[in-house]
Amino acid sequence: MTPTDGRTAVAAVFGTEWRNGLALLRELGRAGIEVLALSDKESSLGFRSRYAAERHLHPDPMDEPDEFLAWLRGFGEEQSAQGRVIVPFPTSDLLVSIFARHMESLPGFRCPFPSWSVVAGCLDKESQVRAALEVGVPAPKTYFSESLGDLHRDLDDGAVQFPLLLKQRESYTREAFDDAGLRRFRAVPLPDRGRLEEVIRTVESASVPFLIQEVIPGSDDALYTLGSYMNREGVILSGFTGRKLRQKPPKFGIARVAESVDAPSLFDLGAALLQRLGFFGISQVEFKLDSRDDTFKLIEVNPRSWSWIGLGPRTGARIAVAAFRDTVGLPVSPQKGSGRYRWICLADDLVASIQHRDAVPFLSLLHPTKGISEAYLSVTDPRPGIAHVWGEISGVIGNRLKRRGHRPPP
């Protein structure tokens, strides 16, 4: 495809070892867009996809940030010399932050999201909550580091109750939480006052920016999502709504089963929040339905793709394709996904269902929906799924051999 300046536009998915990276690769490739698969892992499942026109291995952006940035600049120069413009699709907060910080100095790239001045606010949970309150989007009771006195008073008065949740404000940095010994999806459950005081002392001594929120009651299936692509004018060009059904681990994990649902109010709530943040691009805005007042309350904003974005095309919302076409100046017909479809990661659901005893494995496959998408398995693109299944089986066998004192086969 060719943008207005005459160069050939190609999509580049960074992080094709992840579910969302593989989903983006497939969606863009199936639309006839040339897609480059990029990863810091030779075993990346995206490298096995039939839709990867090229495969590129790069330095680890977490462990080698300077080397990765230098590699990006060299890669962009090389592609630009070939008459290409690259539309990048980063799949993690870290990758988004790197592109947003340095996009002005990355030759050959045209980013489908704003620069760091905007993205920084979208990755900061305090900024998310403050923006939500400013535009009337409900949020859980939240206490910032300067309002801990209010938290203790509300606990004494019964205005808020345990359990609470302490969250790291900046989701793109994990080192601080790791150093404080609190790594758990960048959030720490606080079941009582003793644990509250202990964790606050720990994070303050490590200078970790944080906030504390009430835990909205309800199970995993109360977590709803607006997934969308919003253009620079603040219009959602492609999007759908859905909800998690089960997570790994339960309550504070990533989806292992999800489904699309029609929840039109989320379009209004999510759009208002994204507009206030000044964001455009692909995002997931997650809410939890509070059974106490039947209100959707903000959980977080992810200014990137998320693990089950692969459900979108089933509903008619090709979010990545809309992002690509809009970025290179091609027309986009607005799409609002509809219908009830289901997404599942079979391996995760099987293992977690057995570990946590919270579901009957594979029962989701029997649920009446219009169709089911599996995170890795695809009839039209089988190699990534086969590699994933083999990797899971090999891992289980290897772990059992280690426990028995045997050396696993090479």
Kindly list the domain boundaries of the chain, sorted by start residue: 8-111, 141-214, 220-376
Task: Answer left, alpha or beta for residue 291, where phi above 0 means left and psi between -120 and 50 means alpha.
Answer: alpha
* pLDDT (tens digit per residue) in 219-258: 999 999 999 999 999 999 999 999 999 998 888 789 999 9
For the chain, 410 residues long, give each residue's pLDDT as a single digit of tens.
555 577 899 999 999 999 999 999 999 999 999 999 999 999 999 999 999 999 999 999 999 999 999 999 999 999 999 999 999 999 999 999 999 999 999 999 999 999 999 999 999 999 999 999 999 999 999 999 889 999 999 999 999 999 999 999 987 665 555 655 565 446 899 999 999 999 999 988 888 889 999 999 999 999 999 999 999 999 999 999 999 999 988 887 899 999 999 999 999 999 999 999 999 999 999 999 999 999 999 999 999 999 999 999 999 999 999 999 999 999 999 999 999 999 999 888 888 888 877 766 666 666 667 788 999 999 999 999 999 988 887 876 777 667 776 555 55
Q: CATH assignment of 141-214, given 3.30.70, 1.10.3210, 3.30.1490, 3.40.50?
A: 3.30.1490
Map 144-163 to HEC letters: EHHHHHHHHHHHHHCCCCCC
Q: What homologous superfamily is domain 8-111 in, according to CATH?
A: NAD(P)-binding Rossmann-like Domain (3.40.50.720)
* pLDDT (tens digit per residue) in 73-85: 999 999 999 999 9
Which is it for the CA torsion 11, 15, 21, 22, positive or negative? Answer: positive
Structural tokens at position 211: 């906030």
- Yes or no: say if 127 and 277 are a contact pair by the CB < 8 Å rule: yes
Can you give the pTM of this predicted structure?
Answer: 0.93
DSSP per-residue string spanning 2-60? --TTSPEEEEEEE-TTSHHHHHHHHHHHHTT--EEEEES-TT-GGGG-TT-SEEEE---
- Cα–Cα distance measured from residue 247 to residue 358, given in angstroms and rounded to the nearest whole number: 10
- Cα–Cα distance measured from residue 375 to residue 307, given in angstroms and rounded to the nearest whole number: 8
Q: Which fold has domain 220-376?
A: D-amino Acid Aminotransferase; Chain A, domain 1 (3.30.470)
Structural tokens at position 88: 């990048």
CA distances from 90 to 15, 185, 193, 401 (A): 7, 19, 39, 37
